[in-house]
């Protein structure tokens, strides 16, 4: 497995995490909020970063000038109209999040800010680079269970391209990952696929010419996977530290 050096507290890089926009309850409040699972924050802290939550701010990517790295996080389906599909009755698009995350991805590439896309973040990455999505894996007839019930995780095998950045990070070309998604990559656009489930679903895309730009379909921030997936988060932190 790839060895990573610990990051000293004084040099912990600032890494932005995109957030949900949803109704949240705490104390006496039940209001619209910009929120994110605390597991993302804990995972980045363990990897040696100072995480910063990024509420949607469509039209302004200037925060990237103050960040060392970026994580485009998981969440609900992106608007199907972003890759030319008709609006779906069961979709609940969050336009401000979609537009902001696409803006951040393009802005990060222009500045070469190290970026990791997680689940929905991989799909956002691909859409930003001209790709498209499979609307529903069950409807498309894929055999591997990538999500049995919303809000739960399954596990399956992933094959990694030999010589790819992702294979170098994990030190292997085959591994188990967790999974909780019903959409997936149909066309990777100008990104380079470097990981696949056994049913052919794309699980990893990279931009080789970038300092660090990787999207994964699984959830490395999940507490049950954090030890196994810490090399990926630390690789992001190392790239952000340079």
Q: Which two tokens stand for residue 89?
A: 């009755």
The values of phi and psi at residue 30, to 5°, are: -145, 85
Selected catalytic residue, list 101, 203, 206, 221: 221
Name the E strands within 161-232: 174-179, 184-187, 192-197, 202-206, 213-216
Locate all alpha helices (DSSP H) within the chain, ordered by sequence: 38-47, 95-111, 120-128, 165-170, 226-241
Q: Is 221 a catalytic residue?
A: yes
Residues contacting residue 6 through CB under 8 Å, at least 6 positions apart: 48
Q: Is 205 a catalytic residue?
A: no
What number of CA atoms fall less than 13 Å from residue 1's CA on the CB side?
A: 12
Selected catalytic residue, list 119, 181, 206, 222: 119
Selected catalytic residue, list 129, 146, 181, 219: 219
Nearest to 241 by CA among 42, 67, 41, 45: 67
The values of phi and psi at residue 177, to 5°, are: -135, 160
Say if CB 165 and CB 189 are below 8 A apart.
no
| Active site residues per annotation | 119, 219, 221
């Amino acid at each position: 497995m790839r060895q990573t050096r610990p990051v000293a507290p004084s040099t912990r890089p600032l890494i932005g995490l995109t957030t949900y926009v949803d109704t949240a309850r705490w104390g006496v409040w039940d209001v619209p909020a910009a929120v994110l699972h605390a597991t993302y924050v804990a995972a980045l802290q363990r990897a040696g970063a100072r995480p910063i939550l990024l509420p949607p701010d469509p039209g302004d990517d200037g925060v990237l000038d103050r960040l060392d790295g970026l994580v485009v996080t998981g969440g609900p389906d992106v608007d199907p109209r972003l890759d030319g599909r008709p609006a779906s009755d069961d979709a609940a698009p969050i336009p401000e999040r979609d537009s902001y995350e696409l803006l951040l991805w393009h802005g990060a590439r222009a500045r070469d800010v190290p970026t990791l896309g997680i689940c929905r973040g991989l799909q956002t990455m691909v859409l930003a680079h001209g790709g498209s999505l499979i609307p529903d894996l069950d409807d498309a007839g894929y055999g591997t269970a990538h999500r049995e019930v919303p809000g739960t995780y399954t596990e399956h095998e992933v094959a990694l391209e030999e010589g790819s950045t992702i294979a170098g990070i994990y030190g292997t070309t085959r591994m188990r990952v967790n999974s909780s998604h019903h959409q997936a990559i149909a066309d990777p656009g100008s990104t380079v696929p470097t990981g696949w489930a056994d049913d052919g679903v794309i699980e990893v895309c990279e931009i080789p010419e970038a300092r660090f730009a990787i999207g994964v379909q699984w959830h490395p921030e999940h507490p049950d996977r954090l030890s196994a997936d810490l090399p990926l988060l630390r690789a992001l932190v190392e790239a952000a530290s340079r």
